[in-house]
Amino acid sequence: MILRLGTRKSKLALTQSNWVKQEIEKRFPDVQVELVKVTTKGDKILDVPLAKVGGKGLFVKEIEEALLDGRIDFAVHSLKDVPTELPQGLEVSVFPEREDPRDALIARDGKGLMELPPGAKVGTSSLRRMAQLRAVRPDLVIESLRGNLDTRLNKLDEGHFDAIILAAAGLKRMGLSGRITEIISPEVLLPAIGQGALGIEFRSEDHETRRILSSLSHEETTIRVRAERAFLARLEGGCQVPIGAYATIEGNELTLEGLIGDEDGKKILRMKKMGSVDDPEFIGDELGKEMLDAGGKEILEAVYEGK
């Protein structure tokens, strides 16, 4: 049997898709996974800060069209790029074991975040990173940095920046963890919702594909990302607003920490909620509600108005 896996063409997407292909073929000797390359809008617009392009799901829309058309059977996404609302008939419900969810600093001369000289130029295009960086190091000059991983590292190496911030997971998956000069603690930079996790998307009615993909599902990852994504759904935010959420599990207890900030890092609301691992959606939704009521709503409205 052949399963067609729709993938973006970036090196990271291909690495992730090939990893899933291998894992499936290892478990199901009579299944063959065939990669089908799909170009997304997010891959074409590489010169404009993503926040300005707007629109959720820039990296997934064309892939979802291919899924709905039946040109492909499933797709592997970086979960943090996947909006909470999906087209009718599709679902993202299989989550393999999460890679490192934290952000990483890559500095040209090996310095850590707090050792960067005053006024150092730091590249990132994520509003979440920008807001939190400005809160701890208001002196840094933060500038937009887009493009795939190689492009971003090249811009650092060419001297356009003193340091850049990237998700540790992408670097690790590509074998580039040697470039990391500091893994930044979630206490300083709360990660993006779903960062470091993969989400596998398929047609809800395709039971055979679901059965095969389910074998890759990782329980702890699934509980954590379900809580984080319920928080995101309550905030109705895409990755274009300064929000983050990070879930951890100890025993039967789930802790979810959420963040809502404004772009200049002047207002940052950070709250935590704990509960049972049995109901991650409840914890995510409740934390979202509590944070909106505690001033998050006003912060988000001001961010949206500025656009």
CA distance 85 to 91: 9
Q: What span, in angstroms and rounded, lies between the C-alpha atoms of 194 and 254?
A: 15
**Nearer to ligand PBG (CB atom), residue 22 or residue 32:** 22
Does residue 75 contact residue 200 with C-beta atoms inside 8 Å? yes
Q: How far is residue 66's CA from residue 57's CA, in Å, rounded to a whole number?
A: 14
Distance of alpha carbon 213 from alpha carbon 294, whole angstroms? 40
| Catalytic member of 47, 69, 73, 81 | 81
133 alpha carbon, distance to own chain's centre: 18
Stretch that binds ligand PBG, among 73-81, 109-117, 216-224, 257-265 (CB under 6 A): 73-81
Q: Which stretch binds ligand PBG (CB under 6 A): 111-119, 166-174, 211-219, 283-291?
A: 166-174
Residue 293 annotated in active site: no
- Determine if 213 is a binding residue for ligand PBG (CB under 6 A): no
78 binds ligand PBG (CB under 6 A): yes
| Encoded tokens for 18 | 């090939």
Q: Which stretch binds ligand PBG (CB under 6 A): 66-74, 75-83, 200-208, 292-300?
A: 75-83
Establish if 57 lies at the interface with ligand PBG (CB under 6 A).
no
Per CB under 6 A, the list member of 6, 83, 196, 244 interacting with ligand PBG is 196
Instruction: Verify binding: residue 145, ligand PBG, rule CB under 6 A.
Output: no
CA distance 166 to 19: 21
Q: What are phi and psi of 71, to 5 degrees?
A: -75, -25
Binding mask 80-99 for ligand PBG (x = CB under 6 A): xx------------------
Q: Which of 152, 85, 92, 87 is nearest to 122 (CA)?
A: 152
- 195 lies in the site for ligand PBG, by CB under 6 A: yes
| Smallest separation (angstroms) from ligand PBG to the CB of 38 | 16
Q: In the set 24, 106, 122, 167, which binds ligand PBG (CB under 6 A)?
A: 167
Cβ-based neighbours of 155, under 8 Å, separated by 6 or more: 123, 145, 147, 161, 164
Binding interface with ligand PBG (CB under 6 A): 78, 80-81, 166-167, 169-170, 195-196
Active site residues: 81
